[in-house]
Amino acid sequence: KRLVLVKAEAQAINPEIRKTEAKVVDSVVVTELSKPLTAYCRCWRSGTFPLCDGSHVKHNKATGDNVGPLLLKKQ
């Protein structure tokens, strides 16, 4: 038997939410954070998941998607 590997086609992971925006980014302001800004991945592509490492940029270019991180900002 031969094993045939098929490369998965890049696909968007956001089918309908806020598609008129170039990139969906939300912010939450909290009063107690150790760092002034923390970005959490929502594209499931980050090499440092759950933190965003910017991998969403490559994903968006490859798929036409518009995903971005959740930003936690220290007030």
Which CB atom, from 1 or from 24, has the smaller least distance to ligand FES?
24
DSSP string computed for 7-22: PPPP--S-SSTTTTSS
- In the bound complex, what is the minimum distance in angstroms from residue 2's beta carbon to ligand FES? 35
CA 37 – CA 40 distance, rounded (Å): 10
CA 32 – CA 22 distance, rounded (Å): 30
Stretch that binds ligand FES, among 1-9, 10-18, 26-34, 64-72 (CB under 6 A): 64-72
Residues that bind ligand FES (CB under 6 A): 41-43, 45-46, 52-56, 67-69
